[in-house]
Amino acid sequence: MKPPYYFLILSIFFMLACSLTTLPAVSNMDAQSVNKIYLATPTLIPIATFHTISAAACTVTPQTLHLRNCAGLHCTVIDWLAHGAELVVHEKDHEWLQVTTPTGKTGWVHSKYCGGRQ
């Protein structure tokens, strides 16, 4: 049989270990302090792939070109652009350009079909 103080020492050790791993109370801390505590290890933060293009323009090269609501073939076509239309380029996302048409509509076109300075 083990002496009775063995259980006392074991329970004190257990309480001490639990108190060292208990997270601080969040009730009186602001969000930034909590983030500093819980995000102390480096994490990968996704970075947007948009690149700002200043004063760029392009011209529609095919007979018609789809203007889409986002950058990708899965996006909805919101307008058709005619050959020779001058577009103002705002941003570039990989191979896609965010443009504004002469009528004021803003959307995305594939850069392969939009020639000129980009």
Chain segment 77-100, per-residue pLDDT in tens: 999 999 999 999 999 888 999 999
Query: Is the pTM value of this prediction over 0.75?
Result: no
Number of domains in the chain: 2
Give residues with Cβ within 8 angstroms of 33, minimum separation 6.
Answer: none
Digit-coded pLDDT (tens) for 56-68: 889 999 999 999 9
Same domain, 60 and 102: yes
For residue 8, is it left (φ>0), alpha (ψ between -120 and 50) or beta? alpha
Given a cut of 80, is residue 45 above it in pLDDT?
no
At 107, list the tokens.
Answer: 């959307």
pLDDT recorded at residue 98: 94
Domain assignment present for residue 43? The answer is: no
Domain assignment present for residue 70? The answer is: yes
Domain assignment present for residue 108? The answer is: yes
Domain assignment present for residue 45? The answer is: no
Residue 71: other Cβ atoms inside 10 A: 21
Domain assignment present for residue 58? The answer is: yes
Same domain, 55 and 105: yes
Domain assignment present for residue 60? The answer is: yes
Residue 70 belongs to what domain range? 50-115
